[in-house]
Amino acid sequence: MKLAILGAGSVGSTLGRAWAKQGHTIIFGVRDVNAPKIQTLLMELGENAQAATLAEAATQAETIVLTVTWDAMPDVVEAIDNLDGKILLDCTNPLVANQLDAALNLAQSGGEQVAAWFPGAKVVKVLNQVGWETMADPQYGAEVATMFYAGDDAGAKQIASQLVTELGFEAIDAGSLQASKFLESIAVFWGQLAYGQGLGRNIAWQLLKR
Ligand SMILES: NC(=O)c1ccc[n+]([C@@H]2O[C@H](COP(=O)([O-])OP(=O)(O)OC[C@H]3O[C@@H](n4cnc5c(N)ncnc54)[C@H](OP(=O)(O)O)[C@@H]3O)[C@@H](O)[C@H]2O)c1
């Protein structure tokens, strides 16, 4: 699959690395294609990875993965005309002034805000609930971490589930895009445990069923 990953920071580079290893073609959409850290990443990933502007990357792929910081979103919306008909996997968390709990006071979830910015896109909220370290390796001893996803388009959710499963997670459908608010709350709680309670970043979620 051809995947445009907008942003190549901690999350974008981790996902690009993992999916390139699975044989997907990665096009990183970045502000500065020639930045040394981008060139180093491309060298590492080899022939399965390229970099382009945000707009070019979004044009070249049918599945787009959003991994920029929340405060970058106005620039991303400005740079990209539309994402009509495309799958948009939203990994962001709406951290206002980098405050974890401010996200919970927004009038609508970040996932729904992203859908409002790109009305023609099939948005799925996913890969926002744990740190990038767990995205790189969701295996905890004999257990695998759970990753929830939420969206309104069945086909887009199928792709999200497949890509998350390829990373090594157990993928669980959390419902419609409205459920983004729950997935963003989980991210806030992850931060509270990791930083507030000092558990550190190598913590993840697992859904138990019987
Ligand atoms: N870090 C985690 O463990 C984690 C886990 C789950 C979800 N998230 C969410 O994932 C998103 C990315 O987090 P991250 O930790 O990967 O952040 P990061 O390492 O700081 O990377 C952010 C990326 O956004 C780009 N960016 C920043 N401002 C921009 C702008 N104005 N226009 C275009 N691109 C811009 C950066 O480009 P430059 O390199 O050019 O600055 C970089 O590629 C955030 O929404 C975060 O809340 C993070």
Q: How far apart are the first and last CA of the chain?
A: 35
Written as six digits, the tokens of 116 are 């409002």
Ligand 1: residue whose CA is nearest its atom 26: 68
Domain ranges of the chain: 2-196
Q: Which of 77-81, 101-105, 112-116 has the lowest mean pLDDT?
A: 101-105
Please name the residue that has the structure tokens 């930083």: 195
At residue 59, what are phi and psi to the nearest 5 degrees? -70, -35
Is CATH 3.40.50.720 what the domain over 2-196 is classified as, yes or no? yes
Res 15: pLDDT: 98
Helices (H), ranges, the chain: 10-21, 36-45, 54-60, 73-79, 110-117, 132-136, 154-167, 180-191
Q: Is the pLDDT of residue 97 over 80?
A: no
Written as six digits, the tokens of 97 are 């002034």
Ligand 1: residue whose CA is nearest its atom 24: 68
The pLDDT tens digits for 51-84 are 999 999 999 999 999 999 999 999 999 999 999 9
Expressed in angstroms and rounded, the spacing between residue 66 Cα and the centre of ligand 1 is 9
Q: Is the pLDDT of residue 195 over 80?
A: yes
Mean pLDDT (the chain) is 95
Expressed in angstroms and rounded, the spacing between residue 197 Cα and the centre of ligand 1 is 24
Please name the residue that has the structure tokens 């787009």: 64
CA–CA distance, 62 with 16 (Å, rounded to integer): 16
User: Using 50, 70 and 90 to split pLDDT, how confident is the model at 166?
Assistant: very high
Res 101: pLDDT: 63
Q: Tell me what percent of the residues of the chain surpass a pLDDT of 70.
A: 96
Q: Is the pLDDT of residue 131 over 90?
A: yes
Res 96: pLDDT: 76
Q: Is the pLDDT of residue 132 over 80?
A: yes
Written as six digits, the tokens of 24 are 């997907």
